[in-house]
């Protein structure tokens, strides 16, 4: 059981470039989300999705775009990379119990450096 | 808004010492509470959870009790090992509107042999 898979694990971008961070889960989870992890700031929510075709903004959405065309995949797009987006990015998924998602399952992370 | 506050690290302990990592929260209603652990170079893994007041979550010798009266969820372990060295995150799952997870800033634990 692969769980939550993120690719790539490492990436270096030049300022202004765009790229997509991939996230896939094989647990048929309805809820998926993207976080960034920065020193001293914990994890901050970027975007999340409660199901295919439904996405919403989190705490720090600017400069990022998402879509959810299937249950399994939730890619994160950086539209025009900036040094402030240097961070470690985590994708997470949760299954629902009734109307509430349960604990989150995390991918291994993508370490992104923007120069 | 909802928030989680946990003690600053790093915390450095000798093997077999007692561990406490403090976590308090601010939230409306009765959120679910979690502790996650992150080992170097890895993603976060669920360590334990509690979904209602007075619940005690436990796993791998770690324990935490959901205290509604003090809005706390402190993590404890009676005897730490070198292999427990990691970053620990306290988190809550909101109860209103669209459910979200809110994380604390993390506490780094280093256990010395």
Neighbours of B83 (CB within 10 A): 10
Check residues A96 and B85 and name the one with the higher pLDDT.
B85
pLDDT, averaged across chain B: 92
**Residue matched to tokens 């999705």:** A49
Whether A54 has its CB under 8 Å from any CB of chain B: the answer is no
At A95 the pLDDT is: 82
Tell if the CB–CB gap between A109 and B42 is shorter than 8 Å. yes
Query: How far is B18 from chain A, CA to nearest CA, in Å?
Result: 24
Nearest-angstrom CA–CA distance, A37 and A74: 18
Q: How confident is the model at residue B86 (pLDDT cuts 50, 70, 90)?
A: very high
- pLDDT higher than threshold 70 for residue B96: no
- Categorize the per-residue pLDDT at B9 as very low, low, confident or very high, splitting at 50, 70 and 90: confident
Q: Which pLDDT band, with edges at 50, 70 and 90, does B99 fall under?
A: low
Closest residue in chain B to residue A99, using alpha carbons only: B99
pLDDT band of residue B59 (cuts 50, 70, 90) is: very high
B59-83 mean pLDDT: 97
Q: Cβ(B19)–Cβ(B110) under 8 Å?
A: no
As beta bridge partners, residue A88 has A37, A111
Pairwise CB contact (< 8 Å): B46 & A42: no
Tell me phi and psi for residue B69, to 5 degrees. Answer: -70, -30
Average pLDDT over residues B81-86: 96
Total Cβ atoms within 10 A of residue B28: 10
Contact B36, B47 (CB under 8 A): yes
The pLDDT of residue B95 is 73
CB contact under 8 A, B101 and A41: no
Q: Is A19 on the interface with B (CB under 8 A)?
A: no
Interface of B with A (CB under 8 A): 4, 32, 34, 36, 41-46, 49, 89, 93, 95, 98-106
Optimal mutation site among B30, B43, B64, interface A, most CBs of chain A within 10 A: B43
Stretch B20-33: mean pLDDT: 92
Residues of chain A with pLDDT under 70: 1, 97-101
pLDDT of residue B97: 61
B29 — pLDDT class (breaks 50, 70, 90): confident
How far apart are the C-alpha atoms of A93 and A72, rounded to whole Å? 10
- The residue among B101 and B84 whose pLDDT is bigger is B84
Q: Which of B91, B46, B84 is nearest to B66 (CA)?
A: B91
Residue B98 predicted with pLDDT over 70: no
Which residue of chain B comes nearest to A41, CA vs CA?
B105
Cβ contacts from A onto B, under 8 A? 53
């Amino acid at each position: 059981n692969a769980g939550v898979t993120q690719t790539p694990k490492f990436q270096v971008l030049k300022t202004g470039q765009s790229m997509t961070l991939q996230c896939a889960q094989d647990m048929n989870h309805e809820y998926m989300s993207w976080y960034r992890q920065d020193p001293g700031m914990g994890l901050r929510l970027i975007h999340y999705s409660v199901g295919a075709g439904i996405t919403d903004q989190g705490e720090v959405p600017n400069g990022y775009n998402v879509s959810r065309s299937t249950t399994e995949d939730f890619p994160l797009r950086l539209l025009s990379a900036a040094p402030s987006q240097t961070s470690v990015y985590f994708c997470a998924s949760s299954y629902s119990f009734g109307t509430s998602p349960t604990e989150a399952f995390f991918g291994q992370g993508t370490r992104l450096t923007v120069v | 808004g909802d928030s989680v506050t946990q003690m600053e690290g790093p915390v450095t302990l000798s093997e077999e010492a007692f561990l406490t990592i403090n976590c308090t929260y601010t939230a409306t209603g009765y959120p679910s509470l979690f502790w996650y652990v992150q080992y170097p170079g890895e993603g976060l893994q669920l360590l334990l959870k509690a979904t209602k007041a007075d619940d005690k979550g436990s796993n791998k010798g770690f324990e935490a009790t959901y205290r509604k009266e003090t809005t706390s969820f402190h993590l404890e372990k009676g005897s730490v090992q070198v292999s427990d060295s990691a970053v620990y995150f306290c988190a809550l799952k909101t109860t209103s509107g669209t459910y979200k997870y809110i994380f604390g800033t993390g506490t780094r634990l280093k256990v010395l042999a």
